[in-house]
């Protein structure tokens, strides 16, 4: 069965505002104020908590960046979980496209490098968890993207065939994950990197979710009625 697996941050939802806010909570606790900017540093937010802490610590020229990242990362996760959906928004047309795919017979799931518990919490708060048959987070398996195992497992748990799957994402991590599994990748152009994702040579790109069902059909075909 053909399967469409979605990345979460920067693909289904713009989570950068809440991620930056959680990192800034750490910097305020250090007595440094809000070090990161929600707009300027949005792309770093999608690289994860450690990347945000590293950027901020380097920006304030801290003498022990690695040690402080380890020390403050649990604090960042706690701050994020406590206020996970204040600024987060689902990208226009995303859930409508998911609905079209499901109604057509595709299996749909999520493979994210966000910790599984946080992903479950966010999707539930946004009211969209039940739309996805599977959810694989950064800590669900021993490995995370760009290792292909999480993508493969997301397809299997969704009830699909990994060999007939594709991933919809927004970064080089998603591109590398698809390549590692030997399946197509569709990258969105409305994330922080914009149309620069074309440099990653994905099999498909979309400027709006209205175009997703057509790209999916082009790349992996349409599920047979007998599946």
Model confidence band, residue 62 (pLDDT cutoffs 50, 70, 90) = confident
pTM value?
Answer: 0.93
Looking at every residue in the chain, the average pLDDT score rounds to 95
Alpha helices by DSSP H, 158-220: 172-181, 212-220
* CA atoms within 13 Å, Cβ hemisphere of 90: 17
Contact call for residues 187 and 170 (beta carbons, < 8 A): yes
CA distance 170 to 135: 17
Section 99-120 average pLDDT: 97
Instruction: Classify burial at 65, counting beta carbons within 10 Å of its beta carbon; exposed 0-12, middle 13-18, buried 19 or more.
Output: middle
Residue 114 carries which DSSP code? S
pLDDT at residue 136, rounded to an integer: 98
Residue 48: predicted pLDDT: 87
Cα distance between residue 181 and residue 6, in whole Å = 15
The distance from CA 161 to its chain's CA centroid, rounded to whole angstroms, is 21
What does the pLDDT read at residue 47? 86
Question: Is 201 designated active site?
Answer: no
The predicted-structure confidence for 132-163, as pLDDT tens digits, reads as follows: 999 999 999 999 999 999 999 999 999 999 99
Q: With a cut of 60, say whether residue 226 has pLDDT above it.
A: no
Domain 3-14+88-220 has CATH 3.40.50.1000: yes
**Number of neighbours of residue 133 by Cβ within 10 angstroms:** 17
Burial 168-185 (b: 16+ CB within 10 A, else e): bbbbebbbbbbbebebbb
Residue 49 pLDDT > 80, yes or no? Answer: yes
Residues 3 and 221: their CA atoms lie apart, in Å, by 10
- Phi, psi angles (nearest 5°) of residue 190: -100, 10
Q: Distance between CA 94 and CA 132 in Å, rounded?
A: 12
**Which is catalytic among the residues 7, 14, 41, 170?**
7
| pLDDT score at 63 | 83
Banded model confidence at residue 193, pLDDT cuts 50, 70, 90? confident
The answer to whether the CB of 148 falls within 8 A of the CB of 180 is: yes
Residue 227 pLDDT > 50, yes or no?
A: no
pLDDT at 225: 64
């Amino acid at each position: 069965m053909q399967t469409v697996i979605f990345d979460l941050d920067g693909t289904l939802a713009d989570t950068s505002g809440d991620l930056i806010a959680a990192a800034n909570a750490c910097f305020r606790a250090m007595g440094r104020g809000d070090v990161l900017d929600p707009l300027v540093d949005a792309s770093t937010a999608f690289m994860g908590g450690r990347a945000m802490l590293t950027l901020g610590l380097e920006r304030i020229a801290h003498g022990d960046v690695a040690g402080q990242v380890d020390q403050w990362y649990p604090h960042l996760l706690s701050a994020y979980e406590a206020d996970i959906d204040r600024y987060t928004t689902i990208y226009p047309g995303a859930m409508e496209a998911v609905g079209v795919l499901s109604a057509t017979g595709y299996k749909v799931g999520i493979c994210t490098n966000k910790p599984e518990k946080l992903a479950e919490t966010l999707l539930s708060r946004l009211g969209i968890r039940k739309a996805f048959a599977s959810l694989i987070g950064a800590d669900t398996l021993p490995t995370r993207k760009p290792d292909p195992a999480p993508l493969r497992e997301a397809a299997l748990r969704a009830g699909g065939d990994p060999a007939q799957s594709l991933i919809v994402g927004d970064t080089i991590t998603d591109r590398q994950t698809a390549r590692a599994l030997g399946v197509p990748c569709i990258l969105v152009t409305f994330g922080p990197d914009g149309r620069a994702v074309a440099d990653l040579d994905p099999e498909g790109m979309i400027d709006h979710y209205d175009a997703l069902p057509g790209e999916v059909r082009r790349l992996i075909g349409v599920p047979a009625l007998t599946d």
